[in-house]
Amino acid sequence: MILAFETSCDDTCAALVGDDGTVLANVISSQEVHNRFGGVVPEIAARHHLELIDAVVAEAFARAGVGIEQVSLVAATRGPGLTGALLVGFCAGKSFAAARELPFAAIDHLEGHIAAAYLAPARFEPPFLALIASGGHTLLLDVSARGGPVEVLARTLDDAAGEAFDKGARMLGLGYPGGPELSRLAADGDPRSYDFPTGRSEDFSFAGLKTALLYKTREVDASDRQVRANLAAAYQRAIVEALLRRVLRGLERSGRTRLALGGGVAANAALRARLGELEVELFLPPPELCTDNAAMIAAAALAGGALSYPDYLGLDVYATGEGPLR
Ligand code: KG4
Ligand code: ZN
C-alpha cells in the first residue's frame, strides 16, 4: 500500500492507494484562506500546510480503515510548485518513510496529473495523448508507456489555461479560483455572442485572449449580469476551442486514438462535453482526480522509480525548471 503526499500549491492532500491502483482514501483540504486575496499567497500556503498535514494524514488512515504498518511505499510531490508549500509534504513524506526505513518515490506533479489515469477502476493504459491543463501548465503530451518517455507536443507560451480562467474571472468580478466560478456564470450566457481569439501558434497561448476580454469589458455594459454571462460563455468557448484545436492536431500527427485529460481545467464541463464528441477512446477523470490530489501522486509511484532507504534523504524539492516535463 502506498501513502502519498501532495502540497505543491494550496491544497493539503494525503492518499492511501493499494498496489493494484485502488484508492482507499483521498483526502483534500483546500485552503480557502487565499480566496480573499484573489490568488495563492505562497507563505500563507506553506504555513497552513504545516498546520493541516498531520490531521489530513490521520484522516486518510481513518477513512481507509488501515494501519500505518500496512504502508510499504511512501510518495510525495517534489515539484514543480511553490517551494515552501512543497517542502511540507515532501519532508513529511521523507520523514514517514525514513522512520520506518521504507522506500520513497519523489514524484513530478505533472507526471502525477497524467498518472491519475492509472487508478482503478479506469486503469487507462498508455499509449495515449494526455492533455494536462492546470493553473500553472498547459501541456499536450504523447505518453508511450507508464513511467516511460513522454514527448511534449505543445506547451504553454504564456498563461496556462487555468490561469486564463482565473484572470478572466477576475475581470468579470468573480472570485478565486476562477475556473468553477466563470463556468457557472457562462452557463447563463450565449457562447456565440462574442468571437474571442484562440491563438495562432501550434503551442498554447492565452495572453491575447485575456487582453481581448479586457478590451471587450470596456466596450460593453459590464454592470449588466447577462452581458457578463455572455462574455464568460464566449471566453470559455475560446479556451475550450483553443485546447481542442491543438488536441485534434496532436491526434492527427501522432496517429494516437486514445486521449486522457488531467489537471484542474479537466473538471470543466464545457471542455469535457466538447472532447466527448471526438471519436477517440477518452479518459475523463472524476473531478476530485482532476484538481490537485495525492491519489494521483501514489499512482505515479506505482510506475516505479522509488529509492531505498536512506538514498532519498538528500533529495530536495524544485519550484520549476527541473522536472522531466519542463
Ligand atoms: O491542477 P490544479 O488543481 O492545480 C495546479 O496544479 O495548478 O488546477 C487549478 C486550476 C485553477 O486555475 C482553476 O481555476 C482551474 O484549475 N479549474 C477549472 C475548473 N476547476 C478548476 N477551470 C475551469 N473549469 C473548472 N470547472
Ligand atoms: Zn496540479
Residues, CB-to-ion distance under 5 Å, ligand 2: 134, 292
Other beta carbons less than 10 A from residue 43's beta carbon: 10
pLDDT band at 325 (very low <50, low <70, confident <90, very high): confident
Which atom number of ligand 1 is nearest to the Cα of residue 239? 23
Are 237 and 274 in contact by the 8 Å Cβ rule? The answer is no
Q: Residues near 211 by Cβ (< 8 Å), separated by ≥ 6? A: none
3.40.50.80, 3.30.420.10, 3.40.50.300, 3.30.420.40: which CATH number matches 128-284?
Answer: 3.30.420.40
Query: What's the mean per-residue pLDDT of the chain?
Result: 95
Which CATH superfamily groups domain 2-122+289-301? ATPase, nucleotide binding domain (3.30.420.40)
Domains of the chain: which residue ranges?
Answer: 2-122+289-301, 128-284
Report the pLDDT value the prediction gives residue 35, as an integer from 0 to 100: 81
Q: Is the CB of 268 under 6 A from ligand 1?
A: yes
Record the pTM: 0.95
Q: What letter does residue 21 receive in the DSSP assignment?
A: S
Q: 290 C-alpha to center of ligand 2: Å?
A: 8
pLDDT band at 107 (very low <50, low <70, confident <90, very high): very high
Output phi, psi for 59, to 5 deg. -65, -40
Which tens digit of pLDDT belongs to each residue from 48-73? 999 999 999 999 999 999 999 999 99
Q: Show the cell assigned to 37.
A: 486575496
Report whether pLDDT(326) > 80: no
pLDDT band at 30 (very low <50, low <70, confident <90, very high): confident
